[in-house]
């Protein structure tokens, strides 16, 4: 179904090819994962499958890419739309209509699908993706996760033979991600759809994959079974990290497989020692009381009370649309809301933008919204000036995040993970008292997430209060000690990360499921329990 023949892709001004002599064949009805570190070429590989590379991205493509019998060098993306559907990392940038129902129908209209058949497909797709209740909602009002599901639905409705997805679950809560992946798996097994999926959160999908393509970062690509690839690849989902910790030759691909292996070996694991709570300031760094956010008749956040102390790292979890992002924007002062918000003696809603940055700063999930200068160097230099920081401060933070991109790179040409790292570096340059992070691991590989964890730990040690809104339960387990759970605009539970995650079937990380009832959260906890 998909064939790469000695494919190389080189962008203008690049010192080396992004892809180099890549050859492989994927059969019909295969679910293939594309893995690699940030900037290794995953998006380029996917873009070559539907003609985005090089027709829209520029650069030079050598070799042949054949999808469904069509050479993508001879067909532009619009001419391949009936064969291959593509969903990028930022769904909002790809929308062309205003409402959910119209967006799902748009692609079929361009293909000339009969109106009766179109109506039927819209209904079927709404049901498959679990978004029937959103059909008349404006796209701009949807949460990031809801937008992601609509984007996938709009492509599926056209009934392509190949579905190419770039980070499809990055904005989804665990339950929604499972629903989407289950729907995709059904289409693979029962309809024969070929799916190529680039994903950083491999723990969500690797158990369903038939094959895996690993991009080591040198331009090459290696195709193999998921277990074989993960045994040597530089990507380490929790189960791969567990296999290395326990010296297993083969990586288990599911919690069930790992749990059975642990039981068969009679592995005994001691519960990790309870770490003393980090010393917190007596006076909270941020206090919020009875916060309420409304969008017209919709109450997105209501009655939220919270205290964030310097030195604490708190995770904020909840379903898509539960109000997490709205709460963060309200706390930052950029969103109109009712209630009381204090950072020290200041109300961030009443401060200038420059002063507010030094008090409480927010890294949004659409990080590119904060980038407007023509190069990475210009963005970093501007951040240093605006924050009155020593020259090179932002650049140093960027390197620590593992995104040491060239100074002359245009931020718009960076990968999603690289853009996120750049925005994080810019915001941290101001050394705020309170740091709010909205889906900070979206687009980041496991190495970059470990580096981000180190930076967050260092910030907390310096007295910064950190609040992380995330769907990445593995990162929440690693980075936080306190947790808030939101539902329907309200905080419904708060407590220690260990207590809340290990007791939740929806949010428990993989290690908690493998070793239950022993309360471990991460492979690091497992290593400590064996010591």
The phi, psi pair for 344, rounded to 5°, reads 65, -125
Q: What distance in Å separates the CA atoms of residue 19 and residue 133, rounded to the nearest whole number?
A: 42
- Quick one: 294 and 392 in the same domain? yes
Q: Decide which of 220, 236, 252 is a domain's last residue.
A: 236
How many domains are contained in the chain? 2
CB atoms within 10 A of CB 270: 11
Q: What is the pLDDT of residue 274?
A: 63
User: Among residues 203, 219, 236, which one ends one of the domains?
Assistant: 236
209 shares its domain with 302: no
297 and 155: one domain?
no
Is 273 a residue whose pLDDT tops 70? no
DSSP 151-189: HHHHHHTT--SEEEEESTTTTS-HHHHHHHHHHHHHIII
Tell me: do 196 and 343 sit in the same domain: no
Q: Considering the entire predicted model, what is its pTM?
A: 0.85
Average pLDDT over residues 15-30: 94
Residue 272 lies in a domain: no
DSSP annotation string for 252-277:
--SHHHHHHHHHHHT---PPPPPPPP
The verdict on residue 260 lying in a domain is: no
Residue 270 maps to a domain: no
pLDDT at 376: 94
In sequence order, the 6+-apart residues with CB closer than 8 A to the CB of 520 are 269, 271, 272, 511, 512, 526, 529
- Please, which pLDDT band fits residue 184 given cuts at 50, 70 and 90? confident
State percent of the chain over pLDDT 70: 97
Average pLDDT, the chain: 89
Asked if residue 469 is part of any domain, the answer here is: yes
Tell me the CATH number at 373.
3.40.50.300
Tokens 């990028």 -> residue: 88
Domain residues for 367? Answer: 286-520
pLDDT of residue 471: 92
Query: Is 456 within 8 Å of 466 (Cβ atoms)?
Result: yes
Regarding whether 230 and 122 lie in a shared domain, the answer is yes
pLDDT tens per residue, range 105-134: 998 998 889 999 999 999 999 988 889 999
**pLDDT the model gives residue 147:** 85
Q: Is it the case that residue 280 has pLDDT exceeding 60?
A: no
8: number of Cβ within 10 Å = 17
Give domain status of residue 303, yes or no.
yes
- Please, which pLDDT band fits residue 15 given cuts at 50, 70 and 90? confident
Confidence of residue 531 (pLDDT cuts 50, 70, 90): low
Q: Match 């790992």 to its residue by tokens.
A: 258
Dist CA 146 CA 464 (whole Å)? 32
Q: Are residues 231 and 369 in the same domain?
A: no
**In contact, 6 and 62? CB cutoff 8 Å:** yes
Q: Which two three-digit tokens encode residue 106?
A: 């748009």
Residue where a domain terminates, one of 201, 236, 271: 236
In a domain, residue 269? The reply is no
What tokens does 129 get?
A: 């993706």
pLDDT in tens, 237-268: 999 999 999 999 899 999 999 999 999 988 87
What's the average model confidence in pLDDT over 230-237?
92
Q: What is the pLDDT of residues 315-336, one digit of tens each?
A: 999 988 899 999 999 999 989 9
| Same-domain check for residues 77 and 219 | yes
Query: Distance between the two ends of the chain, CA-based, in angstroms?
Result: 49
User: For 472-500, what is each residue's pLDDT tens digit?
Assistant: 999 999 999 999 999 999 999 999 999 99
Q: Is 217 in the same domain as 341?
A: no
Same domain (yes/no): 25, 160: yes
Could you give the CA distance from residue 268 to residue 517 in angstroms, rounded to a whole number? 12
What pLDDT band is residue 271 in, cutting at 50, 70 and 90? confident
Name the phi and psi angles at 248, rounded to 5.
-80, 140
Percentage, residues of the chain above pLDDT 90: 57
Identify the pLDDT of residue 360.
94
- On whether both 104 and 18 belong to a single domain, the answer is yes
Residue 433 has a pLDDT of 92
Are 310 and 225 contained in the same domain? no
Quick one: 413 and 502 in the same domain? yes
Tens digit of each residue's pLDDT (9 = 90 or more) over 404-452: 788 998 888 787 677 878 898 898 898 899 999 998 888 788 888 888 8
Residue 157 domain-assigned (yes or no)? yes
pLDDT at 277 > cutoff 70: no
In a domain, 262, yes or no: no
Q: What mean pLDDT do residues 352-371 have?
A: 85
Per-residue pLDDT band for 276 (boundaries 50, 70, 90) equals low
SS3 345: coil
Which pLDDT belongs to residue 39?
Answer: 80
């Amino acid at each position: 179904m998909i064939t790469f023949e000695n494919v190389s892709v080189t962008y203008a001004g690049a010192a080396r090819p992004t892809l180099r002599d890549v050859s492989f064949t994927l059969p019909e009805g295969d679910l293939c994962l594309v893995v690699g570190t940030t900037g290794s070429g995953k998006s380029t590989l996917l873009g070559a499958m539907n003609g985005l590379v090089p027709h829209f991205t520029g650069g030079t493509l050598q070799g042949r890419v054949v999808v469904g019998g069509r050479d993508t060098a001879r067909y532009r993306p619009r001419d391949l739309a009936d064969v291959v559907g593509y969903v990028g990392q930022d769904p909002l940038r790809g929308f062309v209509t205003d409402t959910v129902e119209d967006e799902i129908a748009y692609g079929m209209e361009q293909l000339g699908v009969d109106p009766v058949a179109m109506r039927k497909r819209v209904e079927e797709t709404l049901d498959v993706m679990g978004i029937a209740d959103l059909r008349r909602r404006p796209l701009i009002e949807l949460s990031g996760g809801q937008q992601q599901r609509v984007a996938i639905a709009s492509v599926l409705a056209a009934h392509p033979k190949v579905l190419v997805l770039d980070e499809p679950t990055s904005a989804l809560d665990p339950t929604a991600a499972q629903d989407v992946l289950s729907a995709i798996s059904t289409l693979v097994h029962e309809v024969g759809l070929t799916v190529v999926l680039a994903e950083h959160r491999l723990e969500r999908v690797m158990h369903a994959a038939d094959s895996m393509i690993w991009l080591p970062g040198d331009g090459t690509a290696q195709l193999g079974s998921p277990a074989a690839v993960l045994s040597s690849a530089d990507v380490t989902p929790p189960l791969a990290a567990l296999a290395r910790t326990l010296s297993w030759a083969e990586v288990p691909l599911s919690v069930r497989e790992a749990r059975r292996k642990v039981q068969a070996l009679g592995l005994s694991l001691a519960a990790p020692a309870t770490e003393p709570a980090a010393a917190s300031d007596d006076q909270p760094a941020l206090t919020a009381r009875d916060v309420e956010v409304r969008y017209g008749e919709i109450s997105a956040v209501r009655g939220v009370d919270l205290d964030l102390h310097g030195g604490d790292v708190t995770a904020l979890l909840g379903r898509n649309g539960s109000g997490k992002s709205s709460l963060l924007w309200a706390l930052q002062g950029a969103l109109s809301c009712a209630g009381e918000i204090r950072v020290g003696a200041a109300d961030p809603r009443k401060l200038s933008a420059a002063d507010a940055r030094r008090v409480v700063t927010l890294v949004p999930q659409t990080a590119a919204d904060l980038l407007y200068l023509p190069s990475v160097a210009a963005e970093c230099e501007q951040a240093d000036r605006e924050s009155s920081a020593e020259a090179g401060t932002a650049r140093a933070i960027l390197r620590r995040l593992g995104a040491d991109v060239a100074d002359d790179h245009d931020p718009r040409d960076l990968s999603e993970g690289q853009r996120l790292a750049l925005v994080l570096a810019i915001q941290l340059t101001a050394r705020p008292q309170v740091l709010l992070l909205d889906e900070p691991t979206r687009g980041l590989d496991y190495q970059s997430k470990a580096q981000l964890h180190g930076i967050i730990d260092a910030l907390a040690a310096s007295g910064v209060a950190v609040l992380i809104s995330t769907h990445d339960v593995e990162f929440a387990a690693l980075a936080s000690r306190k947790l808030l759970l939101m539902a329907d605009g309200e905080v419904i539970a708060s407590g220690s990360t260990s207590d809340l995650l290990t007791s939740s079937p929806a949010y428990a990380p993989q290690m908690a499921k493998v070793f239950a009832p022993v309360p471990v959260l991460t492979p690091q906890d497992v290593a400590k329990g064996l010591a």
